[in-house]
Copies of this chain bind each other. A is one copy, B any other.
Amino acid sequence: MSDQDDLVFKALADASRRELLDVLRVKNGLTLGELCEGHEMSRQAVTKHLALLEEANLIVTQKQGREKFHYLNPVPIHGIYMRWIGRFEAHRMDALYNLKQALNTKTKTKTKTKTRKDKK
């Protein structure tokens, strides 16, 4: 998992940034002022969030005169799905079954597992 993926996960960690992506998913190509609508935070705070989204390649921007347009780029989100999130789908049903089995088995037969000393 690359540094770029790390940027994507970090960018998505904040609810405000996900909301900005939600807005762009519904209506792409908005200016900073338009994106500020519906948000209580200051324009400079929105600008900071957009910078992180841009750094993660989740949006691309286009300056025209004094206006800056922001466009959604869904490719990195697809990327983390393909490279990481999707791997948890493959055995989602399996995992639930195995979890139940494991819990039942361990409750009945206490298993011994090797452990490691603290790293101090």
Contact = CB atoms under 8 A, between A and B. Distances in A.
Interface of A: 1, 6, 9-10, 12-13, 15, 18, 21, 25, 28-34, 36-37, 40, 42-43, 60, 62, 64-65, 67, 69, 71-75, 77-78, 81, 84-85, 87-89, 91-92, 95-96, 98-99, 102-103, 106-107, 110, 113-120
Given A36-B119, A42-B119, A71-B103, 15 more contacts: A12-B13, A21-B88, A25-B88, A31-B113, A34-B115, A34-B116, A36-B116, A62-B103, A64-B110, A69-B106, A72-B88, A72-B95, A75-B92, A78-B92, A81-B81
Nearest to A10: B13
Contacts of A73: 95-96, 99
Contact of A42 (B42, B87, B102, B120): B120
Q: Specify how many copies of this chain sit in the oligomer.
A: 2
Given A34-B113, A113-B67, A74 B95 contact: yes
B25 A15 contact: no
